[in-house]
């Protein structure tokens, strides 16, 4: 796995903050009654592509929510450009993904709980 440079990390942080502000202010236009959180941003070494990982709260169909965000990607990129145009030469292309880390953690906790319960039950042999 290749480590990100300080420059990439700093740029990703700027993008994450600005996208969070955009989604906080205008997220209801894209997904009514859904809270969108930017959990992570990864930027390519040339800073041309930003991979944005999203988490959706109060939404049962995350796949549809992601498709909706992807449909508005150019509009979101334009708004991001308005915020960071003085800091960068090019506005990165935005790629959106679902961050399923919380689902993974929940699934693992259930497995560990099940194992823990099975260990507590005495053998009935």
CATH of the domain at 66: 3.30.300.20
Number of structural domains found in the chain: 1
List pLDDT tens digits, range 2-55: 678 899 999 999 999 999 999 998 888 888 888 888 999 999 999 999 999 998
On whether the CB atoms of residues 58 and 31 are closer than 8 A, the answer is no
For residue 78, name the pLDDT band (cuts at 50, 70, 90). Answer: very high
Q: Is the residue at 114 inside a domain?
A: no
Instruction: Please say if the pLDDT value at position 56 is more than 60.
Output: yes
Q: Is the residue at 61 inside a domain?
A: yes
Q: Is the residue at 125 inside a domain?
A: no
On whether the CB atoms of residues 24 and 47 are closer than 8 A, the answer is no
Q: Is the residue at 25 inside a domain?
A: yes
Q: Is the residue at 115 inside a domain?
A: no
Nearest to 100 by CA among 36, 60, 35, 54: 54
Distance set, CA 70 to CA 8, 37, 49, 118 (Å) = 23, 15, 14, 44
Q: Is the residue at 30 inside a domain?
A: yes
d(CA 22, CA 72): 12
Q: pTM value?
A: 0.77
Q: Is the residue at 105 inside a domain?
A: no
Say what the pLDDT of residue 22 is: 93
Tell me how far the alpha carbon of residue 85 is from its chain's centroid. 22
Q: Is the residue at 72 inside a domain?
A: yes
Handedness of CA 44, 92, 71, 39 (dihedral sign): positive
- Domain holding 49, by residue range, is 6-100
């Amino acid at each position: 796995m290749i480590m990100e440079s300080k420059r990439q990390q700093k740029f990703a942080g700027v993008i994450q903050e600005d996208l969070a502000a955009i989604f906080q202010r205008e997220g209801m236009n894209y997904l009514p009654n859904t809270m969108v959180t930017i959990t992570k941003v990864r930027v390519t070494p040339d800073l041309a592509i930003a991979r944005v990982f999203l988490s959706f709260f109060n939404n049962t169909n995350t796949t549809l929510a992601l498709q909706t965000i992807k449909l508005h990607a150019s509009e979101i990129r334009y708004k991001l450009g308005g915020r960071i145009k003085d800091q960068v030469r090019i506005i990165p292309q935005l790629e959106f993904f679902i961050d399923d880390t919380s689902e993974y953690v929940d699934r693992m906790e259930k497995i560990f709980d099940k194992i823990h319960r099975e260990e507590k039950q005495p053998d009935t042999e």
